[in-house]
Amino acid sequence: MSEHIKVLLTEEEVDAKIQLIGEQISRDYAGRQVHLICVLKGGSFFMCELAKRITVPVSLDFMAVSSYGSGTKSGGVVKIVKDLDEPIRGKDVLVVEDIVDSGRTLSYLLEMLWARGPETLRLCTLLDKPERRVVDVDVDYTGFQIPDKFVVGYGLDYDQRYRNLPYIGVVEFDSEEE
């Protein structure tokens, strides 16, 4: 089966939204330093673009998580594959993600990060799929709320491909007969 990508959010729409979020964060963190935590791999493209648009001092760190066991995310257990390089105690931490879907990854991650004693802890996501939520997550900055469609681009993958698309698209499958 082959597939094609239908554009959901253009590069211009995504760029304009990231600019607005960057301005909002710069206002909210005025006089402070914001410590961005990128959740690999999906959050990487958004974090780089966002960081360039924040005008207060920024520091960065990265972590990678994966879901455990059979059924992966349905188990709701998340394992740290790569931990942060630096402690976050006393810092103004902003977690940057590509998407909140079921909410399992972020609810686990935020709870784990809170236990490390940051001064503040907020969440910024480019995309939110509220219809799919299984676990409540408080999102502080959202780019776009999207329908329950499987999306790719801007860090989001389908089978590890399409992360590099500069826009957000929906994967559509072409049947063999057509």
Ligand X SMILES: O=P(O)(O)OC[C@H]1O[C@H](OP(=O)(O)OP(=O)(O)O)[C@H](O)[C@@H]1O
Q: Smallest distance, Å, CB 109 to ligand X? A: 8
22 binds, among ligand HPA, ligand X, Mg ion, none (CB under 5 to 8 A by kind): none
Q: Active site residue: 61, 101, 136, 138, which one?
A: 101
CB 121 within 8 A of CB 93: yes
Task: Examine residue 49 and tell whether it contacts ligand X (CB under 6 A).
Answer: no
- Give me the DSSP letters along 125-178: EEEE-GGG-SS----SEEEEE--S--EEBTTB-BTTBSTT-SSEEEEEEEPTT-
Which partner, ligand X, Mg ion, ligand HPA, none, binds residue 103 by CB below 5 to 8 Å per kind? ligand X
Pick the closer one to ligand X by CB: 29 or 113.
113
**CB-nearer residue toward ligand X: 73 or 149:** 73
Name every residue whose Cβ is closer than 8 Å to that of residue 78 and which is 6 or more positions away in sequence. Answer: 65, 66, 67, 68, 104, 105, 108, 109
Mark 89-118 with x for binding to ligand X (rule: CB under 6 A) and - for no binding. --------xxxxxxxxxx------------
Is 85 labeled as catalytic in the residue annotation?
no
Binding positions for ligand X, rule: CB under 6 A: 39-42, 73, 97-106, 157
Q: Which residues are catalytic?
A: 101
